[in-house]
Amino acid sequence: MENQTQTKSILARSSPRIKRTAVDVADSGHPSTSGLWNHQNPNEQSQKRQKYTMPENRTIMKCYYKSEPQRRGYQKRMYQLWKQEYPDSQITEPRLADQRRFIIRNKVFSEVELEEIQKICKVDYHQTTAQTAAETPATLGMVEQIEPEESVELLQEFEEPALETSVEPPGTLTARQQELKDKIMAHAAANAIRQRLPTLKTVPKRHLAPLMKDVNAALSTVQITSIEQTNQFAYSAAVIVTEELGLLQPRQPQRKSIGKPKWKVRLELKIKKLRSDASNLKNMKERKLKNDKIKQYLIQKYWLNTRKIEEALEIVKEQITATARKIERYEARIIQYRQNQLFQSDQRRFYQSLNQTTDTVTIKPEKTATTKFWKELWENNKNYNKNAGWIKEFEGKFSQNKMELMEITTEMISKRVQKVKNWTSPGSDQLHGFWLKHLISLHGKMAQQFNEMLQKGSISEWLTTGRTYLIQKDPTKGAAPGNYRPITCLPTMFKLLAGIIADRIQDYLEEKNILPDEQKGNKWKSRGTKDQLLIDKMILENCKSRKANLHMTWIDYKKAFDSLPHSWIIKCLDAIGICKTVGTFIENMMEHWKTELFVGNESYGLVNIRRGIFQGDSLSPLLFIIAMIPLSTILQKTNLGYQISKNSHKISHLMYMDDLKLYGKTETEIQSLTNTVRIFSTDINMEFGLDKCSTVVLKKGKIIESEGINMPNGQTIKCHQPEAYKYLGILQLDNIKHEHVKTVVSKEYTQRVRKILKSKLNGGNTIKAINTWAIPVIRYTAGIINWTQMELDNLDRKTRKLMTIHHSLHPRSDVDRLYLPRRSGGRGLLQVKQAVKEEEHALAEYVKQSEEPALIEVKNQKLLKTQQTKNQYKKTALQTRADSWHNKTLHGKFLDKIEGKADKEKTWLWLTNGTLKKETEGLILAAQEQAIRTNAIKAKIEKSADDPKCRLCKETDETIDHILSCCKKIAQTDYKQRHNYVAQMIHWNLCLKYHLPAAKNWWDHKPAKVLENEHAKILWDFRIQTDKVLEHNTPDITVVEKNKVWIIDVAIPGDSRIDEKQQEKLSRYQDLKIELQRLWQKPVQVVPVVMGTLGAVPKDLSRHLETIDIDKITICQLQKATLLGSAHIIRKYITQS
């Protein structure tokens, strides 16, 4: 009764001069509920509460603005306008005024929305005023006083926004440097058409470094006065260096179609001829062949006078099969070579080839329509709405900030150029980043020229002209022009300049704390999308646990990067205090932006870019983020959003570049936030992609049906139910779809692993591909998706199973060793479980150190329950694995064998180099781990009834060490062949050193007994004649120079005996050494080259190899030759038996 009396007392007050409020009856926490009573009958004691819809609230504000509130009597005029819109409404005039106050005080509409409503009212202001005046002539006596509190509100609401428009100083050049300078100058003067230069990834640093040093010395003496000349001399220097290295191929005209290689044509013709012969032989056998010439041909070719036709026919059939297999073997080798070369040079293209998608498309879009589409988008210059009231407020927020004048120094050039990728696709100047990085003599000149451009505010057109490649997005949508993503290749020099400017602007933004916390795109010291996903996960789980209300909207922009007005970018740069020189330079730079469209290799024409930004340099995304700063500022000011707890700050939105997600506590809040974003977007001429926008409503933590969000412009954002929405790559709706994401991600991971293992990549590249292409699929979900230990273990188990199926991992090989680094003797594969745990520890460490309010809430909610840092966890995991491998009886035996005898770092060189086939790599590691089922393993470990003796010599137990180094039956065959391969490699390198005849490749080299010229004499397996009888007088290689002799002998013992064998070689040839010194009167040195059968390297091998001074020979090459021979023996006698 007391409440009813109080309510009746409030309702009885009708004087507009008495202050009234709706707060007393408002439903706290729900701004969408007005808390007002519906006056159907004022005399009734029981009143019904009325909820005003958003359209009704909008109409109330329209009536208010149209009623001229600065004049007296506005409430009557406002009420009459309301009755025109809702003639059946029973609301009274005081109640209408109360609801208007409620809308203002509870911020049902944001300031941006109110500004839009006000503008709409101004359009038909005169018509409304005339109509209102005709229907209700106002007199002074009828006008009511405006309350003092309302006066303050009116002053705030009707305030009109003000419009505002390292090289050393050059010295004397050496002859070599002068020669290089002359070549560079000649090439630059010729100004020839530029072509794409090959990469230098395979060139050893010891060859490239001295050449680059001489080129830099030559360039330091060249007079350069313009940026064009700097670019020309840089390209000319690149051409000359490439020529000097013998890598520059003459430019070949592009062939329309590539035919079959000659070797394949020859073999296919051979097969065709053999098939014809087989057919004729068959006819001849059946007495159907009548042609005497063909008969005579067959008799002579296949010796049919002494051989039966059946025998000849069988020979022909086998030749056909053998030749067909030869084609397959050659093609497999070519594929292997090309795939590994492609992987080394461009991993992205290699992964695209595995996915059977490349930059070139089979069905190209229509040229005219495509060019028209992009011209209409980019050349249609649009301006922002300069009359938008929120712009003045945005300007005022940063009015005290000013960026210092920018001067580019040589140090800035040198620092930034290190971030430039060496061999990414260059722009029209065809200059790779590698050359700007290493032509350090040009850095000072570039700094000076960049500063001149900044001061003048001008830029050469060639710097701002790109090559845009249109990449198809969705093959199912066909060749529609809008179904292509533009990726622009810009001149490397422009990307360097843009990167320096971007770094300076980024420093300024961080220093002044201008970038909003809600935007994580391109933000330094943040985890990017992971930040947003963690905060989003916290909100969703908090809503579920508290059974709270939550409204969410996902906003997607249509061609966001391609539709941003340049005028708005310049306005934002000026508003946040970017110095005038940089702002003017960027403005002039954008005026000259243009690009040539390409689909595949076909040019579609030149397009000027008067709207939107490039997608190919580091400055463009930063400009986009700066242009979106006002949106966060406006949304922050609404003071709307979701609260994790009573005292926490409200989270209204999260942004990553153009991906925007809004959060509201009520329907009114989410509508207000969405409309605020819409108004901002309209003002800067950007549009929603409504087909990708969505909204969802949660009541008490549970999802409910919703009609979506109806915006005043007639557009609707539909409710995304029951389908999930992919936000930053993670499927979600009322919560993250953990199980669904796990299924999708696991499937994608295993598909990628399978594709990699089916490829012809070598062992090292295979592991690297899994680590860089497959593992990141799982790692991205770490900390966001709730993985269990069993699920992660199953993925690791699946990986090992796939490796075993594709012969990359022996089924009995050690698991711990698989995940150890290659430099420590492992294979370097990233374990899925460890990758996820490391990422979770890294995220927890990052969140713990963050001072951002939203991430502090993430920490308080304990989403990441870890104690160790990432480095601590990683170090512990690796040490545990290494100890486990070492302590295993069989798998760790190899480590015990080489302990104290081998150089462990060099012993694993073949692994770190990773050039063996993955099948061979897996086999060698299995042999080291005693995982191969020899007779001894079967009898003594597996406890079978098999004889443990060697299957060949029957003398001792058959172990891997015995088969590879101790079996007498194969000592003069397989062991000798392996030994000769290693010795042959050394002999080939010696021939190259002394300019003696040698094959192109060492494996084709056939050592002659004696080779001699004016430089040296090389003896191969030659018995040295002495006047004394010596037991050991036939070393593998003897090198005789004018003043010195080397006795080189090769041995490949078991890995546990490398030290003893090395000492044996030194002592064995001591007598021969003494005799030769006496007979030839020259100093003689014995050089033992000892390598373990499974790759163990003696500690003194490097020193011994240095004595014969061969540049091209490496320990890794010797290991590879040895291991290939050992693998052949294992396959021949154990795995294939």
> Per-domain residue ranges for the chain?
2-157, 175-244, 263-354, 373-732, 738-931, 967-1135
Alpha-carbon distances, residue 729 vs 54, 518, 723 (angstroms): 33, 18, 15
Distance of CA 576 to the CA centre of its chain: 31
Cβ-based burial of 111 (10 A; exposed 0-12, middle 13-18, buried ≥19)? middle
For residue 1039, the surrounding DSSP H or E stretch is strand 1037-1040
Cβ pair 604, 367 in contact under 8 A: yes
- β 1045-1051/1084-1090 pair status: parallel
Is residue 647 helix, strand or coil? coil
Helices (H) and strands (E) in the chain, counts: 45, 22
Listed in sequence order, the residues at least 6 apart from 298 whose beta carbon sits closer than 8 Å to its beta carbon are 277, 280, 281, 284, 304, 312
d(CA 703, CA 514): 36
Residue 565 β-bridge partners: 611
Instruction: Report pLDDT for 252.
Output: 52
Q: Which residues contact 1120 (CB under 8 A, 6 or more apart)?
A: 910, 913, 915, 916
Q: Is 49 helix (H, G, I), strand (E, B) or coil?
A: strand
What residue type is 844 in one-letter code? A
* DSSP at 762: B
Burial of 790 (0-12, 13-18, 19+ CB in 10 A): exposed
pLDDT score at 171: 56
Burial bucket for residue 686 (CB in 10 Å: 0-12, 13-18, 19+): buried
pLDDT at 124: 57
The whole-angstrom separation of Cα 731 and Cα 734 is 10
pLDDT along the chain (1137 residues), means of 10: 42 38 37 38 47 84 86 86 86 87 84 82 56 40 35 34 39 86 90 86 84 92 90 93 83 57 93 95 90 91 91 95 95 93 88 69 79 88 88 85 89 90 85 92 92 86 88 82 86 91 92 91 88 94 92 91 91 92 90 89 89 85 93 92 89 93 93 93 91 90 87 83 82 91 96 96 95 96 94 96 95 95 95 95 92 91 86 94 93 92 93 93 95 90 88 91 93 94 93 91 92 93 90 93 93 94 93 92 94 94 87 85 95 78
Q: What angle do CA 537, 543, 547 make, to 5 degrees?
A: 155
d(CA 611, CA 561) in angstroms, rounded, equals: 9
In the numeric block, the tokens 């594929």 are attached to 335
From the options 3.30.70, 3.40.1130, 3.40.91, 2.40.30, give the CATH code of 967-1135: 3.40.91
Long-range CB contacts for residues 95-101, cutoff 8 Å, separation at least 24: 95/36, 95/37, 95/39, 96/60, 96/63, 97/16, 97/20, 98/20, 98/21, 98/22, 98/36, 99/22, 99/34, 99/36, 99/52, 99/57, 99/60, 100/60, 100/61, 100/64, 101/20, 101/21, 101/22, 101/150
Listing from the earlier edge strand, what are the strands of the sheet with 1045-1051?
Answer: 1010-1012, 1017-1020, 1037-1040, 1045-1051, 1084-1090
CB–CB of 67/93 below 8 Å?
no
Distance between CA atoms of residues 360 and 349, nearest Å: 11
pLDDT at 361: 45
pLDDT for the residue 721: 65
The residue among 693, 459, 668 whose CA lies nearest residue 35 is: 668
CA distances from 601 to 455, 598, 638, 794, 1126 (A): 38, 6, 50, 44, 48
Residues sharing a CB contact under 8 Å with residue 534, sequence separation 6 or more, in sequence order: 783, 784, 843, 847, 855, 858, 863, 864
CB 412 within 8 A of CB 500: yes
